[in-house]
């Protein structure tokens, strides 16, 4: 197995060290991990979160890789919180990575990861549309700054919506626009299994979205756990592989030097 979305103690929310991940990987049959530590621009936002400093992260990564390279292949990745307002800064800073996951974390100066603030004074549908419009603007604005879009329907985990899923028919127009833009730019879509650990019925995104991505010509899909601790490494990857095969994918992508290498799912199951 190959986990393409992992946060270690280099990230503000990472609990396990690279060495702890390497030990767990050896136990469960993971042969490749891509660290995707958090890069966000927090200008004008009150928060206790911290973004990685790319130079320091690079130095730390080199040291960590030397310690674990006999046990596992370790890739230098990043999860960047895309925001059109900070495109120039992001473009300057997101360089020299093996892999870049693009995500939507901050909208209208609100870090949506912090809880219910994003939903205050609005309906669920209005909040979901606002989030999806931000995603659409991001995929149109950015190009070289990301390789795949991460946890596309992440918004369902937030607020007080107990259903924790997106009615894809209700948002079909904007979802199609997002997916069409990804396909046009030859970008990938991430299947992120963390949703299953947070009360969702499916990983992110809903399989209906994955199927539509495939129908529109999407070719690149990565699988990541979004783990913050070693025990969640490659968690529910069997479910992820089942979903991918059910919607028509027989391989996943692993990025090296910002280029996708494809691996058959049947090989990853071994």
One digit per residue, the tens of pLDDT, for the chain of length 270 reads 999 999 999 999 999 999 999 999 999 999 999 999 999 998 878 788 889 988 899 999 999 999 999 989 999 999 999 999 899 999 988 878 999 999 998 888 888 887 667 778 888 888 889 999 999 999 999 999 999 999 998 888 877 766 667 788 888 999 999 999 999 999 999 999 998 998 888 999 999 999 999 999 999 999 999 999 999 999 999 999 999 999 999 999 999 999 999 999 999 987
For the entire predicted model, the pTM comes to: 0.93
Secondary structure (DSSP) of 6-40:
E--TTSTT--S-HHHHHHHHHHHT--EEEEEEEE-
* Measured distance CA(257)–CA(232) in Å, rounded: 26
- Domain of 244: which CATH number? 3.20.20.140
Q: Which residue has the tokens 């946060």?
A: 7
Amino acid 161: pLDDT: 64
User: What tokens does 204 get?
Assistant: 């992110």
Q: In what order do the strands lie in the sheet with 2-6?
A: 2-6, 32-39, 73-81, 99-103, 148-149, 188-192, 221-224
Q: How many domains does the chain have?
A: 1
Do 16 and 238 contact (CB within 8 A), yes or no? no
User: What tokens does 75 get?
Assistant: 């890739």
Amino acid 163: pLDDT: 64
Residue 212 has, within 13 A of its CA and on its CB side, a CA count of 19
Long-range contacts, stretch 158-161, CB < 8 angstroms, 24+ apart: 158/112, 158/113, 158/115, 158/116, 158/118, 158/119, 159/116, 159/118, 159/119, 159/124, 159/127, 160/116, 160/119, 161/124
Amino acid 157: pLDDT: 82
139-155 b/e (C-beta count within 10 Å ≥ 16 → b): beebeebbbbbbbbbbb
* Measured distance CA(9)–CA(210) in Å, rounded: 31
* Measured distance CA(255)–CA(5) in Å, rounded: 11
Q: Are strands 251-256 and 221-224 parallel, antiparallel or unpaired?
A: unpaired
Range(s) of the domain holding residue 21: 2-268
């Amino acid at each position: 197995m190959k986990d393409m979305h992992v946060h270690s103690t280099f990230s503000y929310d990472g609990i396990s060290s690279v060495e702890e991940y390497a030990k767990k990987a050896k136990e469960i049959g993971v042969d490749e991990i891509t660290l995707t530590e958090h890069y966000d621009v927090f200008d004008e936002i009150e928060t206790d979160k911290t973004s990685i400093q790319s130079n320091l992260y690079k130095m730390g990564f080199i040291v960590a890789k030397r310690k674990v390279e006999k046990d596992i292949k370790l890739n230098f990745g990043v999860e960047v919180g895309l925001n059109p307002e900070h495109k120039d800064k992001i473009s300057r800073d997101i360089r020299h990575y093996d892999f870049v996951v693009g995500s939507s974390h901050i909208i209208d100066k609100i870090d949506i990861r912090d809880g219910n603030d994003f939903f205050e004074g609005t309906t669920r549908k209005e909040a979901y549309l606002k989030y999806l419009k931000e995603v659409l603007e991001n995929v149109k604005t950015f190009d070289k700054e990301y390789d795949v879009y991460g946890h596309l329907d992440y918004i369902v985990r937030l607020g007080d919506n107990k259903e924790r899923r997106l009615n894809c028919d209700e948002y079909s127009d904007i979802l199609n626009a997002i997916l069409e833009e990804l396909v046009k730019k030859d970008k990938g879509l991430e299947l992120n299994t963390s949703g299953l650990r947070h009360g969702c019925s499916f990983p992110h995104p809903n399989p209906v979205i994955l199927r539509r991505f495939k129908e529109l010509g999407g070719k690149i899909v990565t699988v990541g756990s979004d783990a913050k601790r070693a025990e969640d490494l490659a968690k529910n990857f069997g479910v992820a592989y089942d979903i991918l095969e059910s919607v028509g994918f027989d391989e996943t992508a692993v990025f090296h030097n910002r280029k996708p290498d494809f691996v058959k799912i049947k090989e990853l199951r071994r």
